[in-house]
Amino acid sequence: MLDQPAAPRRVLVTGGAGYIGSHVLHALTDAGIPAVTIDNLSTGRRAAVPEAVPLVEGDVGSADLLEQVIRGHGVDAVMHFAGSIVVPESVEKPLAYYRNNTVNSLTLLDACVRLGVDKVVFSSTAAVYGATDRVPIDEETPTAPINPYGASKLMTEQMLRDAGPAHGLRSVILRYFNVAGADPAGRTGQATPTATHLIKVACQALLGRRPALSIFGTDYPTPDGTCIRDYIHVSDLAEAHVLALLHLRRGGESLTLNCGYGRGASVLEVVRTLEEVSGEKVPATFADRRAGDPPQLVAGADRIRERLGWVPKHDRLDEIVRSALAWERSLPG
């Protein structure tokens, strides 16, 4: 009797029904990489998950559920997206953020070590750098988060770094800058009505789904007085995750990498670009600066290109904005 070929190993994607997680699931599926996802659907949508990917509804903080999924689906690697991400909310509910982002991550990493899963790609954030004045911000910039959201993510980063030499757990930590846009094929996008991302909110204001876009501060030391941020298309970010997984599966070492393009756009540039793309006016109001908003946040983005061979395909602001607007138009009003 001929030996049966071994079933392909699956990657477990936590939070795969959410904005970034669903884009990564589609990128994995496009690349022919089998996946399974756990999501409690508190903010994610079942419809965002590709049909080919099994969705297990539940909490990533459940050790029993993690063991069931890892054993039952032949998981050899984890991509961890599940968590809470709203900065002001983290200030109001810090313990909830430490529970969801840090304690649940500890449960997940413990399950990985216990069950022999030695590869983790972690969804982190530029918020770990805090209010730095460095431009651009490279990976050697000291970490000094100024809110519980950033602190909770940095704690998970530290757990991954400590688990490496102790347990042989290899990881790629990806620190996102400002993620925006939507899948060019229209399969998924940012669907949370109360999202706080600038491009999402600007599109909602343009379509009359919010009264107006609030522009906080016009007196920053930038060319037009508004804040500058490094916007990265979510599909380029998803591709970075696939490359990170392949790096680990080839036996690559642990890495910490910024995810951005290395250049920024101001709030007013984003508004003008949306108006040019749509041919319509964005209703906007001007308000005072928000506490804690640095004038510029731009990624030092050379390392991810060098180490993973990442080549962005959607790194134009008009393409990012156009895809976000097309997705917003597709949503029920």
List, for residues 70-120, the tens digit of each pLDDT value. Answer: 999 999 999 999 999 888 899 999 999 999 999 999 999 999 999 999 999
Tens-place pLDDT, residues 119-134: 999 999 999 999 898 9
Two tokens, residue 332:
């029920």
Q: Is residue 48 part of a domain?
A: yes
| CATH code for the domain of 98 | 3.40.50.720
Q: Is residue 284 part of a domain?
A: no
Q: How far is CA 133 from CA 35, 65, 142, 144, 295, in A?
A: 40, 43, 11, 12, 8
- Three-class SS state of 25: helix
Q: Is residue 247 part of a domain?
A: yes
- Percentage of the chain modeled with pLDDT above 70: 98
Q: Is residue 149 part of a domain?
A: yes
Whether the ω angle into residue 34 lies within 30 degrees of 0, i.e. cis, is no
Tens-place pLDDT, residues 250-296: 999 999 999 999 999 999 999 999 999 999 999 999 999 987 788 99
Q: Is residue 317 part of a domain?
A: no
User: Which residues contact residue 309 at a Cβ distance below 8 angstroms, ignoring those fewer than 6 apart?
Assistant: 243
Print the domain residue range for 115: 10-183+232-260+301-312
* Domains held by the chain: number: 1
Q: Is residue 97 part of a domain?
A: yes
Q: Is residue 325 part of a domain?
A: no
Q: How far is CA 244 from CA 149, 173, 220, 257, in A?
A: 23, 9, 36, 10
How confident is the model at residue 292, as a pLDDT? 76
Q: Catalytic residue numbers?
A: 149
Q: Is residue 178 part of a domain?
A: yes
